[in-house]
Amino acid sequence: MTKYIGYVGTYTKGGSEGIYSFELDTEKKTLSEPKLAAKLGNPTYVTPNKDNTILYSIEKADGQGGVAAYQIDQNSGELTFLNHQLIEGPSPCHVSVNDQNQFVLTANYHSGKVHAFPVQGDGSLQSPASEAAHTGKGPHERQEKPHTHYAGFTPEHNYVVAVDLGTDKLYTYKLKDGVLTESGSHTFAPGAGPRHIAFHPKE
């Protein structure tokens, strides 16, 4: 296989209209011109599930923010809207899904919250089953309150990890029966402003 389809999230404050797709040809070493794949408000972060059948995207619409689900056509790469779940307030900044396709997580920079959305059999989303709200602040002017920048799963997918730029902290949660329960935290140097985390693969 030498051709792959990729998806790009964008801000739609200017000329952009939503999620764009492109084709990577590894034999020719070329990228096609992006084309509009789904019209959506501020899809600033997108991620597929493990088997690349569903694409999840951040969404902003009418004073609400949340996540949208799209089915990926396995031949053409075209996106078909399944559903979305929106919450009153600003949109999140990060979205992730566990390997078992059971839960989608969002991290909200503006509210300092993590939301867990149960996933249905077809990949569509239910309303949030749980939320975790961070508290605190840091010494920098951008740390006037919590700013959750990332929420994802540990490699074994038995814990949720959230990184908060505003509080200089990393939080770990258990997610059982849709409920997020804090199990621990780590505090970074004041003003560090952590944004993301990546796990090194174990041998």
CATH of the domain at 36: 2.130.10.10
Does residue 41 or residue 201 have the better pLDDT? Answer: 41
Pairwise CA distance, residues 118 & 128, whole Å: 7
Looking at every residue in the chain, the average pLDDT score rounds to 96
What pLDDT is recorded for position 203? 55
Q: For residue 31, is it within any domain?
A: yes
Q: For residue 50, is it within any domain?
A: yes
Pairwise CA distance, residues 7 & 110, whole Å: 25
Q: Which residue has the tokens 């030498």?
A: 2
Average pLDDT for 39-47: 98
Where residue 111 falls among pLDDT bands split at 50, 70, 90? very high
Q: For residue 186, is it within any domain?
A: no
What pLDDT is recorded for position 38? 98
pTM of structure: 0.96
High-pLDDT (> 90) share of the chain, %: 96
48-70 confidence digits (pLDDT tens): 999 999 999 999 999 999 999 99
18 Cβ neighbours under 8 A, 6+ residues apart = 10, 12, 36, 37, 38, 39, 40, 41, 43
Six-digit token pair at 104? 């989608």
The number of distinct structural domains making up the chain is 1
- CA distances (Å), 45 to each of 11, 104, 144, 156, 187, in order? 9, 13, 24, 23, 26
Residue range of the domain that includes 61? 3-133
